[in-house]
Each structure stands twice: as structure tokens, then as C-alpha cells.
Amino acid sequence: MQIPFTVAPRPDTGVNNAKLGVWLFLASEVMLFGGLFSAYIFLRIGAPEWPGMVGGHAYERASDILNVPLATLNTMVLIGSSVTMVMSWASLAMQRFDRYRLYMGATIALGFVFLVVKAFEYGEKFSHGYLPAENNFLAIYFVLTGLHGLHVIGGILVNMYFMWPGARMWKTDPKRFTNRIEIAGLYWHFVDLVWIFLFPTIYLL
Amino acid sequence: MADHAAVPEGHHGEDGHHESFWRKYIFSTDHKVIGIQYGITSLLFLLFGFSLVMLMRWQLAYPGQPVPLIGWLFSDDTMPGGIMLPEFYNQLGAMHGTIMVFLGIVPLAVGAFGNYVVPLQIGAPDMAFPKLNMASYWVFFVGGVIMLGSFFVPAGAAKAGWTSYAPLSVIESMGQTMWLISMVFLITSSLLGAVNFLTTIVQLRADGMGFMQMPFFVWAQFITSFLLLLAFPPLEAAAVLQLSDRLLDTSFFMPSGLVVSGEVVDVAGGGSPLLWQHLFWFLAHPEVYVLVLPAMGIVAEIIANNARKPLKGYKVLVYSLVFLGFMSFIVWAHHMFITGMGQVMSTFFQTTTMIISVPSVIILTALFLSLWGGSIRFTTPMLFALGFLPMFGIGGLTGLPLGLAATDIPLHDTYYVIGHFHYVVAPGTILALMGGIYYWFPKMTGRTMNDTLGKIHFWGTLVSMNFIFFPMLIQGLAGVSRRLYDGGQIYAHAQDVLVYNEVMSIAAWVLFVFQIPFIVNLLVSMKKGKAAADNHWNATTLEWSAAPSPPVGHGNFRDLPTVYRDPYEYSHPDHDEDYWPQDVPPAEASEN
């Protein structure tokens, strides 16, 4: 049994199954993060001061608590990884599997850099006793960035699969493999995009 | 199941290997097997959820008296000496709602019927992502196991109602954590399912099947999947926030200065219990339509087939469905009129609520009108479909006073609300789902269910359900609150309507007795039922006209069908037979 339109797009819809599937999945992800962002707005509107009391000290700006330079660095890292992700897909489209390996490797490495920086940031907070239970600002900070971090980890796992075991498909079905990288890329760009909303919302506003 | 052992030999040759038992029945990627897995699991959960409420009904009818026959089975933490503790009553109530909605009806309506029927009706060999489909079932299964397991943790299962309102749910015992983790699994499962259904319906329709040639059931599943896709994630977000409140001591839903048992709770505070309600109802109102739309789809199929005429106003039905799906996202706060969220909000949400009743009424009316002038066959599935119409009508009409702030405020949290939504879901959706089982059973197994037993099941169910739920409306109008451990005995205003407690309880147990013929019928007919023809009901849709009964193991059809006409061409003047299947080529073509 063969399921139609796994590789070639269906003529009247113009997409293949996986591409439609990933867009639908991303729509639900928008609703997930949308729910959390709404919670953020709801809590902030209801709060007398924001970010408020942390460690017995009243703060007026989120940037006084959080490490903006590190987060800026992380923003650059994620944007860079999105670029290398596109390059890895483009390399496959140009039949350059060696370059695909290079760019995919860079994407994975940048993903890890993001996580290491994030872990450093978390560690800094923990060492000051800034825990999620401290106040609602830190709570939403940890939940939102934590959930985003889980998405990054998920993306790295997917990319590592396509870097090594999944890459065997290049030999048997190159077109389908290229599609898979495109789809993994759509997810990776989404994770990047979430951060681009997260960064100003939590760190700067 | 037995039916898949009888799959035609052809496909074994194609695959070139014999599949192991595990691949074929347990970790199958065939949408039909997964549909049946969902069906069996969810029917068991429905029975379990029903058992919980049968226990509760004893306490409501005879408060403080030991439960006869089975009372000794329970531990001292739940029912010492057979007498139910209030804490256990609360567990039963919360778990009844949760299990019926998330583990019973949704997986039966979407997981079972959607999985089994949708690919067949659109002429697809399988779902677009078979492995994802399997994952969706097993994630659901794990979620179900966690939910059941929560009965056995210290202090038992969740007790904060199926709505898990904060802050009560945050200060609850460990069962609530299990509830939240289980919900995360269930939400993930429906998410995987929804992506799969939408992709399948958009991408895998047979040649010639445009969107307006799809059977109404497929449309219903299509819109339902959109609701699942977009409404469930905010609840997942809410579940994550509540988990964080419980495990990390954050205060998303914890207000400042909350006093529990005379002591101020030691949290940072500043959170909002209302935030939980917003996030919860943003899911849970679309969820109502997730419960109802597949049922409407099933009823439409059965009515068109048994009235032997096309559905009245197919296009209007479809447009109403789409509009309903859209509107269901902006009515959620009509569950929150008494929270004091302000008059502007109330006005907005009661207006949208009145608007959303219009497409519902159009759908119900079109289904009624479809009967007009038909030569109706009163088969067992048709009885269930006909039962659905007035029952859902009562459910819908009793909802109108709840959608308007002025009338909702006195009725809020009374038995009237319970009566209202049970009319929608129990004599409404469940009747339709039962009808669906009788209707598609011949396709799934190649055998028919017994008609006499089916009719006993129908009449017993219909009558006893009304004796359960109608008195609730009366009690509610008298002002009896829901969630009362003693059924309202200590309240003066409840005295006149207390007599109904016993009536409702007896009716609930009678309802159980009338499910026995159904269970026997289902089990016996699988092996011993009369053999069914490929097109048992002389239907026009592809699952009947193009696929054998049961369909081919992998791939459904011997040859993928092509569609030539609309889905319900019954009693067409240009055709000799009274049904004209979608895949039969036009006369000119076949003569050549």
C-alpha cells in the first residue's frame, strides 16, 4: 500500500502531506504559546507593579533582573542557526550532501550554544535565589523560557536524527529527504520565531 | 479482532511477509485497527465512567446509607462500612466528568468513528500519517492509565471537578497532579489525531471528490479536528501553569492572602483564579462542539440513508458547520457570568452565544426536514438517529437561558446546568454514537447486529435517560445546587424536589440494565451475527459502495475509487435503483 502525496505535492492543493501537516502543527503551537502569552498579559495587567518584589527588593524594569546581553547573544545564536538551517536545505536542493552535513552540523552546534547560554542564565538566577516561586514575573519567565527550551531540545533531537541515522534516506530517496529537511527547518524557524517574540516581551518590556 | 483475520488474501502477497500479531493488532498502523482499538478502549471507559456515577447516585438517593452488594469492596479511605465519604464522592464526581468527556466520548466520536470511517468515506487507502496515528492511540492509552492510576495515590483521585477550578485544584492532593499529567497526554494525543485528520481530508480525497462532494460526516470530523487543533493547546498551557503552581509553588492561579483552614497559604500570591477559568473554557467550550459535531455527522449519514433521500440543504449544513466552528472560539466566557468579569464582557459573550445558536438550529432543522417525504426505514441505527433529534433539541433549548447573563445568574451551578449539558451529551451524543455503532458494525466486521436486541436497547435507553435528566431540570429550577454530597437534604428549598433523587437513581440503574443487551449483542454478533453484504444498507457513500465488508486489510479498497457525484443521491429520478453510489460511473460511460 502506498499513501499518495507523501513526496510530490497534490496538484489541486499544491502541498505534500508532510508540509500541510507541519503547518497545522505549527498552528497549534501558535495557540499553545498564544495561551501562555495571554496569561502573561493577564497577570501583568492585574499586577500592581511589574516585575515587582524579587528577593526583598522592588524592581521597576525586567532588564534589571534578567541578563539582557546574554539574551541578545542568544537571539543572535538562534537567528544564525535559522540561517544555517536554510543553507542545509538549500545544499540538498543543489545536490551537495557534503555541504548539507556542514550546515546541519552548524545548526545543531548553535542549538547547543543556545542551551548552554540559557543554562548559564538559569544558574545565575538560581544562585541569587531567584526561583519561580519568588513572584509571578519570575514564574512566567521560567515557564515560558523553559517551555521554549524544551522546544529547542526537541528541534536539536530532530536535527541530530537527520544528521546521522535519518541521513541514510539521501541515498534511497533524495527528494523525500530534502522535503524532510525543509519540514524540520519550518519547525526550527518557528522555535526561533517564538524566541524573537519572547525576548522583547520578557526581557525588555 | 476476528474481522481482520478474514482479510482477503491479496495483500499478503503484495507485502511479501506475514505480519506478527503485535504489528497487526497491538502496534498496528492500519487506521481500521486503530479505530477499533479506540472504540473498545473508549467504550470501556464509558462503562467505567457510568459505573462511577451509579455509585454516586446511591449516595444521592439514600444519603449516608451503606451501599448494598458491592459496598464491602471499597477501602476504609473511600467507603468505610460501605458508607461513602464526602471526599470519595468528590473524586467520583470529578472523575466521572473527566472520564466521560476526555476518555469516553471524544475518543469514541473522533478516535474510533473518525479513524475508521473518514479514510473510507473519502476513498483513501489509509490516514496520511499512519505511524502518527498509532502514536496518537498509545499516547491516549497512557493518559488513560495515568487517569485511572490516580485513584490509587494517597488521598485518591482529583476532587476539584472536571473543570479543576483554581485555587481549589492547586491546594488539592496528589491526584490532581496525576489529572494534569494525564491531560497533557490526552491533549497531545488529540493534537496528533487532529493534524492527521486534517491532512488526510485535505490531501487524500479520491479523484473527483471535491470538498462539496464529501459526506457530511467527513465535514463534521474536519471542523472537529480544527477545534481540537486550536482549542486544546491553551488548555495544555493552562495545565503547564497549574502543574507549575503545584510543583514549583508559583502563583499563577493563587491570589494574595488566600486563607485555607484558617491559615494564609504561603505563596507569593498575585495570581488570578479567573485566568484558569478563561484558559479552561477557551478549550472547553469548543470541546462541547467536539462532542456534538461528530454526532451530528453520524446522524446525518444515518438519516440520509434511511429516509432514502438526499440531505435537505447540504450546502447550508456545511456552511452552518463552518460558522459554528468559528463562533465556538468566541463564546467561552458565557460559563463565567457570575465571576463579576464586567457588563461589557457579559454583553459581548451573551451576544455571541445567541448568534452561535443559529447555525445549531439550522443543522437540526435541516436534519428534521430531511425526513419530510422520505420512505423511512425504521432500522435500529435510524431509531437512534431519530432519538438524537428531539433529545439534542431539548439540550439546545435548555441552554438558551444559560447563555443570557440575566437568566444564567440564578441558574448557575444548579442541577439545571447538569440537566442541560447531559441532554446534549448523553441522550444527544451518546444516542448518536450508539446509532453509529449499529450503522457501521456490518462494515467493520462483515456481520450484522441483532435487531430485536438493538430495539430493546434503544427504547430502554431513551426512556430511562429521560427519567434521569429531566428531573434534574426541575430540581435546578427549584434552586438545588450541583455537587451536593447529600443531594440537597439539608436545604429547605430543596425539600419539595428531593423525591426526584430516588427516581433519577433508579432510572440510572435501569439504564445500566438496558446496556446489557447492547453489550451481549456487540460481543455475540462479532462471531455469530448474520453475514452482511458489502453494501449492507444500500448506501451511496464510498465506505459502503466501494470497499468490501470488512475493507481490505492494508489499503481499504481493491482499487481506489473515483467519485462522480454528490454524497447522497438517493431516489434519484435518472437512476433505476433508489441509491446511486458516488463511485458508480455515469450510464453513458459504463455502456461504452
Say what the ipTM of the complex is.
0.96
Chain B positions touching A139 (Cβ under 8 A) are 244, 248, 250-252, 268
Name the residue of chain B whose CA is nearest to A32's CA.
Answer: B233
Q: CB contact, 8 Å: A115 with chain B?
A: no
Chain A nearest-CA distance from B449, in A, is 31
pLDDT at B3: 41
How many whole angstroms separate alpha carbon B374 and alpha carbon B380? 17
Length of chain B: 592
Please report the number of interchain residue pairs, chain A to chain B, with beta-carbon separation below 8 angstroms. Answer: 136
Whether residues A52 and B279 touch (CB distance < 8 A) is answered with no
Alpha helices in B248-272 (DSSP H): none
Per-state percent for chain B, helix, strand, coil, to nearest 5: 65, 5, 30
Name the residue of chain A whose CA is nearest to B556's CA.
Answer: A1
Substitution target in A13, A24, A137 with the highest count of B β-carbons within 10 Å is A24
Query: Under DSSP, is residue B421 helix (H, G, I), strand (E, B) or coil?
Result: helix
Is B230 within a domain?
yes
B309 with B260: CB under 8 angstroms? no
Q: How many domains would you assign to chain B? A: 1
Chain B nearest-CA distance from A16, in A, is 8
> Residues of B405-434 as b/e, b for ≥16 C-beta within 10 angstroms?
beebeebbebbbbbbbbbbbbbbbbbbbbb
- Cβ-proximal residues to B559 (8 Å cutoff; 6+ apart), any chain: none
Is B43 within a domain?
yes
Chain A nearest-CA distance from B205, in A, is 10
Whether residues B229 and A13 touch (CB distance < 8 A) is answered with no
Chain A nearest-CA distance from B342, in A, is 15
pLDDT at B9: 40
Q: How far is CA B91 from CA B84, B87, B271, B383, in A?
A: 11, 6, 26, 35
Pairing outcome for strands A57-59 and B259-260: unpaired
Whether residues A131 and B195 touch (CB distance < 8 A) is answered with no
Residues of chain B with pLDDT under 50: 1-16, 591-592
Chain B positions touching A143 (Cβ under 8 A) are 240-241, 244, 250
Beta bridge partners of B447: B531
Whether residues A35 and B232 touch (CB distance < 8 A) is answered with no
Of B572, B530, B568, B574, residue with least CA distance to B121: B568
Whether residues B204 and A131 touch (CB distance < 8 A) is answered with no
CA B170, B172, B178: angle at the middle one, nearest 5?
Answer: 90
Is B127 within a domain?
yes
Substitution target in A31, A33, A125, A145 with the highest count of B β-carbons within 10 Å is A31
Cα B6 to chain center, whole Å?
30
B336 with B275: CB under 8 angstroms? no
pLDDT at B6: 41
Is B207 within a domain?
yes
Whether residues A25 and B195 touch (CB distance < 8 A) is answered with yes
Fold of domain A66-204:
Four Helix Bundle (Hemerythrin (Met), subunit A) (1.20.120)
CA B39, B41, B45: angle at the middle one, nearest 5?
Answer: 115
B228 with B148: CB under 8 angstroms? no
Chain A positions touching B554 (Cβ under 8 A) are 1
Chain A positions touching B232 (Cβ under 8 A) are 28, 31
pLDDT at B23: 86
Beta bridge partners of A57: A54
What's the pLDDT tens digit per position in B408-451? 999 999 999 999 999 999 999 999 999 999 999 999 999 999 99
What's the pLDDT tens digit per position in B62-79? 999 999 999 999 999 999
User: For chain A, which residues make up each domain, given as ranges?
Assistant: 66-204
How many whole angstroms separate alpha carbon A108 and alpha carbon B384? 56
Name the residue of chain B whose CA is nearest to A133's CA.
Answer: B250
Is B484 within a domain?
no
Q: CB contact, 8 Å: A150 with chain B?
A: no
Is B197 within a domain?
yes
| Domain of residue B219, CATH code | 1.20.210.10
How many whole angstroms separate alpha carbon B441 and alpha carbon B446? 8
The dihedrals phi and psi of B34, each to the nearest 5 degrees, come to: -65, -40
Whether residues B241 and A131 touch (CB distance < 8 A) is answered with no
Read off the C-alpha cell for B16.
511479501
- Residue with the three cell numbers 488521598: B155
Number of H helices, E strands in chain B: 21, 2
Number of Cβ within a 10 Å radius of residue A200: 11
Residues of chain A with pLDDT under 50: none
pLDDT at A26: 98
Name the residue of chain B whose CA is nearest to A5's CA.
Answer: B203
Q: CB contact, 8 Å: A27 with chain B?
A: yes
Is B463 within a domain?
no
CA-based torsion, B300, B44, B197, B184: positive or negative: positive
pLDDT at B20: 87
- Specify the amino acid at residue B275: L
Read off the C-alpha cell for A114.
543556545
Whether residues A4 and B236 touch (CB distance < 8 A) is answered with no
Q: What is the CA radius of gyration of chain B?
A: 24
Name the residue of chain A whose CA is nearest to B248's CA.
Answer: A133
Domain that holds residue B227: 28-251
Left (φ > 0), alpha (ψ -120 to 50) or beta: where does B554 sit? beta
- Specify the amino acid at residue B269: G
Whether residues A35 and B248 touch (CB distance < 8 A) is answered with no
